C-alpha cells in the first residue's frame, strides 16, 4: 500500500497470529506482517505457522505488496540451536523478508547461514545509538527499539546509526524491560523468554495494604495499552521506518480493526501532509471497539510512570464484537463464519477494507442449503443477502456484546 502513496511513509507492520489474521491485516492495509514459525518465537501458544502455511503467507503477502517478517526472538539455550542454520536457510528459500532476533548467537548463526535480513527484536532492549551502531556492525539492518524509547530517542538513534528503526505504535505493553521478566517462570513454571509468558503481571496481587488501599493497587504491575494514534506525526518526523502493532495472540477483529485505523490515518497523511483530520475521533472510537485495557502513550513523549498502570481487570470499553468474517460470496449472498451469535432482524455493521462502515439489518438469514434461520450459532456458516462492500475477509460486526 505504501508504494501507491505520494511520498514515503512508515511501514505499517501488523501481527499475523494465523493465516486468516495475516490475510485480514493485509487486506485492511498492512504493508508488512510478522508471524512465528513452529520454533524460536516468543508466542508458544499462538497458531504458529508450519512450512506450508508460511509459504502460503509469503505468497499472499507478496502478491498484495506486503512484506513478511518472521520472529525468531526467543533467548536460546545451546540445545535449541540444533537445526537453526537449516531453518534460517529455508526461510530465505521461502522468500521471508526478514527475521526478528534478540539473541547474539542466533544473529550470528542466521547471518552465517545466509538467512534473511536480520532485524533486532525489541527483546534486545536497544535504547541508544552506541548499541545500535554495534548491532549494525554485526549485520543487523533494523532495530525494533525497546518499548522504553521515546520518539526523540528514535530520531537520535536513526540519525547516528543509519539503521532502519521500528517502534511499537499500538497494543499491549510489557511491565518488564521489554520482556526481561521471569514472573511467569516463578508463578506458572513457564519461561517468558522462550515463548511462555502467562501474563502474570496482569493478575491481581495482594500486597498487605489496608482494604481500601489494596482495592486501589491490586493490579499494580499491569500496564495500560499503547495507543500512538495522536503521535503519528511524531513518528513520521522522527523518521521511524516501521510502525508495529502488537498482538499476534489477539483476534481477527483486532487485526482488521486496528490495522484499518492506522492504515487510514497514514493514507490521510500521505494525501494531505498532516494528521489534523476530523476523522481522528472516529479512528479513536474504532480503537475502543477492540479488546483493550485503558490506553496510554507510554514512553513516546515522557517516560512511563504510575499513570501508565491499568489498575483493573483485563479489558475495558469493548463496544462491539465481530459477528464473523465473510468467508465466501455467492451470487446473492455473503457467507459468514459465525464467531458471535446473532439473530434474525439484528442490526449488524459491515466494515469494508476502505471507507465508511455501513449498518444493515440481518433480515434474511439462511443456512448454506437456503433453509431459513432465526438465530445463528458460533462456528456455523450462514448466508445473509449480499450488500455493497462485501468481500472475502471483510468483517461483519455486531453492535451488541
Contacts to ligand SF4 by CB under 6 A: 174-176, 179, 181, 183-184, 192, 197, 199-201
Q: Take residue 295 and report the three cell numbers written for it.
A: 490506553
Q: Cβ 197 to ligand SF4, closest distance in Å?
A: 3
Please count the CA atoms within 13 angstroms of the CA of 308 that sit on its side-chain side.
20
Q: Cβ 78 to ligand SF4, closest distance in Å?
A: 23
Q: Cβ 310 to ligand SF4, closest distance in Å?
A: 12
| Residues 388 and 326 sit within 8 Å (Cβ to Cβ) | no
Q: Cβ 261 to ligand SF4, closest distance in Å?
A: 23
Rounded Cα distance between 381 and 33, Å, is 28
At residue 172, the 3 state secondary structure works out as coil
CB closer to ligand SF4 out of 115 and 146:
146
CB closer to ligand SF4 out of 127 and 326:
127
CB closer to ligand SF4 out of 197 and 335:
197
Q: Cβ 174 to ligand SF4, closest distance in Å?
A: 3
| Residues 341 and 378 sit within 8 Å (Cβ to Cβ) | yes
CB closer to ligand SF4 out of 222 and 376:
222
Residue 341: how many CB atoms within 10 A of its CB?
Answer: 16
CB closer to ligand SF4 out of 195 and 324:
195
Q: Cβ 184 to ligand SF4, closest distance in Å?
A: 5
DSSP code at position 248: T
CB closer to ligand SF4 out of 31 and 192:
192
CB environment 170-189: b (16+ within 10 A), e (fewer): bbbbbbbebbebebbbeeee
Rounded Cα distance between 225 and 310, Å, is 8
Q: Take residue 27 and report the three cell numbers written for it.
A: 487486506
Residue 55: how many CB atoms within 10 A of its CB?
Answer: 15
Amino acid at each position: 500500500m505504501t508504494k501507491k502513496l505520494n511520498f514515503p511513509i512508515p511501514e505499517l507492520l501488523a501481527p499475523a497470529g494465523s493465516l486468516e489474521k495475516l490475510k485480514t491485516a493485509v487486506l485492511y492495509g498492512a504493508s508488512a506482517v510478522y508471524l512465528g514459525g513452529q520454533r524460536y518465537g516468543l508466542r508458544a501458544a499462538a497458531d504458529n505457522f508450519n512450512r506450508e502455511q508460511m509459504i502460503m503467507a509469503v505468497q499472499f503477502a507478496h502478491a498484495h505488496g506486503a512484506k513478511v517478517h518472521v520472529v525468531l526472538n526467543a533467548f536460546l539455550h545451546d540445545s535449541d540451536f540444533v537445526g537453526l542454520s537449516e531453518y534460517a536457510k529455508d526461510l530465505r528459500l521461502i522468500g521471508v523478508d526478514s527475521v526478528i532476533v534478540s539473541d547474539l548467537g542466533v544473529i550470528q548463526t542466521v547471518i552465517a547461514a545466509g538467512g534473511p535480513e536480520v532485524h533486532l527484536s525489541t527483546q534486545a532492549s536497544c535504547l541508544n545509538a552506541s548499541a545500535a551502531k554495534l548491532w549494525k556492525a554485526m549485520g543487523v539492518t533494523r532495530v525494533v527499539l525497546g518499548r522504553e524509547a521515546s520518539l526523540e530517542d528514535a530520531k537520535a538513534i536513526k540519525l547516528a546509526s543509519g539503521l532502519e528503526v521500528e517502534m511499537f505504535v499500538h497494543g499491549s505493553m510489557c511491565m518488564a524491560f521489554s520482556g526481561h521478566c521471569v514472573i511467569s517462570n516463578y508463578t506458572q513454571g513457564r519461561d517468558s523468554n522462550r515463548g511462555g509468558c502467562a501474563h502474570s503481571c496482569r493478575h491481581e496481587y495482594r500486597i498487605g495494604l489496608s482494604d481500601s488501599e489494596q482495592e486501589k493497587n491490586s493490579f499494580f504491575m499491569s500496564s495500560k495499552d499503547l495507543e500512538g494514534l495522536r503521535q503519528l506525526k511524531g513518528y513520521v518526523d522522527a523518521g521511524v521506518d516501521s510502525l508495529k502493532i502488537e498482538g499476534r495472540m489477539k483476534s481477527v477483529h483486532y487485526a482488521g480493526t486496528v490495522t484499518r485505523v492506522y492504515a487510514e490515518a497514514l493514507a490521510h497523511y500521505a494525501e494531505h501532509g498532516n494528521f489534523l483530520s476530523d476523522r481522528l475521533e472516529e479512528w479513536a472510537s474504532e480503537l475502543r471497539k477492540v479488546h483493550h485495557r485503558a490506553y496510554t502513550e507510554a514512553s513516546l513523549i515522557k517516560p512511563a510512570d504510575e499513570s501508565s498502570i491499568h489498575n483493573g481487570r483485563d479489558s475495558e470499553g469493548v463496544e462491539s464484537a465481530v459477528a464473523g468474517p465473510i468467508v465466501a460470496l455467492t451470487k446473492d449472498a455473503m457467507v459468514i463464519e459465525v464467531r458471535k451469535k446473532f439473530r434474525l432482524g439484528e442490526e449488524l455493521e459491515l466494515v469494508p477494507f476502505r471507507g465508511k462502515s455501513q449498518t444493515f439489518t440481518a433480515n434474511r438469514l439462511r443456512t448454506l442449503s437456503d433453509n431459513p434461520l432465526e438465530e445463528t450459532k458460533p462456528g456455523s456458516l450462514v448466508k445473509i443477502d449480499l450488500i455493497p462492500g462485501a468481500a472475502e475477509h471483510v468483517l461483519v460486526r455486531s453492535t451488541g456484546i
